[in-house]
Amino acid sequence: MLTIACPHCGPRAQAEFVYERTVDSVVPLDAEPAEAVAALFTRANPRGEDDEIWRHTHGCGGWLVMRRHRVTHAISAIRAIGPETLP
Protein backbone atom coordinates (compact mmCIF):
# COMPACT_ATOMS: atom_id res chain seq x y z
CA MET A 1 0.00 0.00 0.00
CA LEU A 2 1.20 3.50 -0.82
CA THR A 3 1.50 6.37 1.61
CA ILE A 4 0.28 9.49 -0.14
CA ALA A 5 1.15 12.96 1.16
CA CYS A 6 -2.05 14.93 0.76
CA PRO A 7 -1.14 18.62 0.19
CA HIS A 8 -3.79 19.55 2.76
CA CYS A 9 -3.61 16.75 5.37
CA GLY A 10 -0.10 15.28 5.16
CA PRO A 11 0.84 11.60 4.78
CA ARG A 12 -2.14 9.24 4.69
CA ALA A 13 -2.81 5.62 3.64
CA GLN A 14 -3.69 4.96 0.01
CA ALA A 15 -7.02 3.49 1.18
CA GLU A 16 -8.21 7.04 1.94
CA PHE A 17 -7.78 8.07 -1.72
CA VAL A 18 -9.55 7.26 -4.98
CA TYR A 19 -7.68 7.14 -8.27
CA GLU A 20 -9.51 8.97 -11.05
CA ARG A 21 -7.40 8.91 -14.22
CA THR A 22 -4.18 10.09 -15.80
CA VAL A 23 -3.95 13.75 -16.73
CA ASP A 24 -3.33 12.92 -20.39
CA SER A 25 -6.60 10.94 -20.61
CA VAL A 26 -8.77 13.95 -19.79
CA VAL A 27 -10.93 14.67 -22.84
CA PRO A 28 -12.33 18.16 -23.55
CA LEU A 29 -16.12 18.33 -23.63
CA ASP A 30 -16.06 19.56 -27.23
CA ALA A 31 -13.74 16.79 -28.48
CA GLU A 32 -14.71 14.84 -31.58
CA PRO A 33 -15.74 11.22 -30.87
CA ALA A 34 -12.65 9.80 -32.60
CA GLU A 35 -10.42 12.10 -30.56
CA ALA A 36 -12.13 11.01 -27.33
CA VAL A 37 -11.81 7.31 -28.19
CA ALA A 38 -8.13 7.76 -29.00
CA ALA A 39 -7.45 9.62 -25.74
CA LEU A 40 -9.34 7.09 -23.62
CA PHE A 41 -8.56 3.72 -25.21
CA THR A 42 -5.58 3.83 -27.57
CA ARG A 43 -3.03 6.03 -25.84
CA ALA A 44 0.50 4.83 -25.15
CA ASN A 45 1.35 3.21 -21.82
CA PRO A 46 5.16 3.23 -21.70
CA ARG A 47 7.23 2.52 -18.62
CA GLY A 48 8.10 5.65 -16.71
CA GLU A 49 6.34 8.34 -14.77
CA ASP A 50 2.80 9.50 -15.25
CA ASP A 51 0.71 12.33 -13.82
CA GLU A 52 -2.39 10.88 -12.15
CA ILE A 53 -5.45 12.58 -10.74
CA TRP A 54 -6.46 11.37 -7.27
CA ARG A 55 -9.00 12.53 -4.70
CA HIS A 56 -8.66 12.33 -0.92
CA THR A 57 -12.19 10.97 -0.70
CA HIS A 58 -12.01 9.66 2.88
CA GLY A 59 -10.15 12.73 4.14
CA CYS A 60 -10.39 16.37 3.13
CA GLY A 61 -12.03 15.64 -0.24
CA GLY A 62 -9.31 17.57 -2.05
CA TRP A 63 -8.08 16.78 -5.56
CA LEU A 64 -4.41 16.29 -6.37
CA VAL A 65 -2.06 15.40 -9.20
CA MET A 66 0.49 12.78 -8.27
CA ARG A 67 3.53 11.97 -10.42
CA ARG A 68 4.06 8.21 -10.00
CA HIS A 69 6.29 5.67 -11.72
CA ARG A 70 4.24 3.02 -13.53
CA VAL A 71 6.56 0.15 -12.57
CA THR A 72 8.00 1.02 -9.16
CA HIS A 73 5.06 3.13 -7.91
CA ALA A 74 7.60 5.65 -6.58
CA ILE A 75 5.96 9.02 -6.03
CA SER A 76 8.12 11.98 -7.13
CA ALA A 77 5.69 14.91 -6.81
CA ILE A 78 2.25 15.76 -5.50
CA ARG A 79 0.37 19.01 -5.98
CA ALA A 80 -3.13 20.18 -5.15
CA ILE A 81 -5.58 21.04 -7.90
CA GLY A 82 -8.98 22.65 -7.74
CA PRO A 83 -10.49 26.06 -7.00
CA GLU A 84 -8.61 26.40 -3.70
CA THR A 85 -5.28 26.44 -5.58
CA LEU A 86 -6.18 29.44 -7.77
CA PRO A 87 -4.56 32.77 -6.83
Q: Which residues bind Zn ion (CB under 5 A)?
A: 6, 8-9, 56, 59-60, 62
36 vs 59, beta carbon nearer Zn ion: 59
β-pair type (3-6, 10-13): antiparallel
In contact, 22 and 39? CB cutoff 8 Å: no
Dmax (CA) of the chain: 40
* 3-class DSSP assignment, residue 53: strand
9 vs 77, beta carbon nearer Zn ion: 9
16 vs 70, beta carbon nearer Zn ion: 16
CB of 51 to Zn ion, least distance (A): 18
CB of 45 to Zn ion, least distance (A): 28
